[in-house]
Amino acid sequence: MSSTKQFLITLAIVAIVLPSVALATEYKVGDSAGWTIKFDYANWANGKEFRVGDKLVFTYPVGAHNVFKVNGTSFKDCTIPPLNEALTSGNDVITLATPGNKWYICGVGQHCAVGGQKLSITVLPAGLEAPAPAPSSAKGVVASALLVLIALMISLFTI
C-alpha cells in the first residue's frame, strides 16, 4: 500500500472518529448567573442544541443549592428525591449519556417550586446523522467541513 493511501485512510478514520470528540460542548447552566433561583432556565435552554457527549456544568456556592436529576413528573411537581441522590459540589458536571428528555431541579427549600430553579432539556443523538444543526452554528460549520472531507476521501479512493 502506498504511503499516500495509508495517509488518506488515517485521515478518513480521524474524520469519522473526530466529530464525537471534537464537537462535544460544555454548557455552563445559566451562563454567568450559574445555578440559582429566579432565573429563566427554559429561556436559557431554548435554541440550544444538546447532544449525547455534551456536558452540563451546574455552578453555585456549596450549600446554597444542589442538583437532582429527576423524571418529568418530579420536575413538574418539584418532588425532591432523597438527599443522598443530590449533587452538591458546587461545580457539578453531568455528561449527557443518552438521548431524550432530561430534568434537573434544586432540592433546597422552595427553590424549585417557588424560585423556578429547574431545568428541562432534550438531548439529541451524537454525531452527524442527527437532525441538521443550524447552519450558523460553529458545530454546523465543522460538521459540514467534515462531511466534505469524507466525501473527498471516498472520491479519491474510487479513482
Chain residues in the site for Cu ion (CB under 5 A): 65, 106, 108, 111, 117
* Closer CB to ligand NAG, 23 or 86, in the complex: 86
Residue 105 CB coordination number (10 Å): 26
The count of residues interacting with ligand NAG (CB under 6 A) is 4
Binding characters for ligand NAG, 23-62, by CB under 6 A (x = yes): ----------------------------------------
- Smallest gap from Cβ 73 to ligand NAG, in A, equals 4
Instruction: Give CB contacts under 8 A, 24+ apart, made by 13-17.
Output: 15/146, 15/149, 15/150, 15/153, 16/150
- Whole-angstrom CA distances from 20 to 16, 60, 100, 153 are 8, 29, 18, 19
φ, ψ of residue 91 in degrees (nearest 5): -145, 65
Binding characters for ligand NAG, 64-83, by CB under 6 A (x = yes): -------x-xx------x--
* Closer CB to ligand NAG, 51 or 118, in the complex: 118
* Amino acid (1-letter code) at residue 99: P
By the rule CB under 6 A, 95 interacts with ligand NAG: no
φ, ψ of residue 119 in degrees (nearest 5): -130, 130
Under the rule (CB under 6 A), what is the footprint of ligand NAG? 71, 73-74, 81
